[in-house]
Amino acid sequence: MEIQVVHQPDESKLGDLGVRSWPIWTKEASEFPWTYDESETCYFLAGDVIVTPNGGTPVAMGQGDLVTFPAGMRCTWKIRDDVKKHYKFG
């Protein structure tokens, strides 16, 4: 199970995925555990985050990143700068 990060994907890829029509989630700087019941793909409009899978290596992500989290992953989110992201489950 790995987090996949695409830094600065081009606008055509975002358009193909329909990212701009996905809901938006925001969260202030904080730290919390999270479990992905299903996969999530998200596109960061703002933020600076370190996500550490349980027993895994921390992964940095933030503004301009397209990120996919695998179903079943347990992790800890550490939001260093407030997050605003489009997201889609499944």
CB atoms within 10 A of CB 77: 15
Per-residue pLDDT tens listing for the chain (90 residues): 799 999 999 999 999 999 999 999 999 999 999 999 999 999 999 999 999 999 999 999 999 999 999 999 999 999 999 999 999 999
CB atoms within 10 A of CB 32: 10
Residue 45's identity, in one-letter code, is L
Ranges of each domain in the chain:
4-89
Superfamily for domain range 4-89? Jelly Rolls (2.60.120.10)
CB atoms within 10 A of CB 84: 13
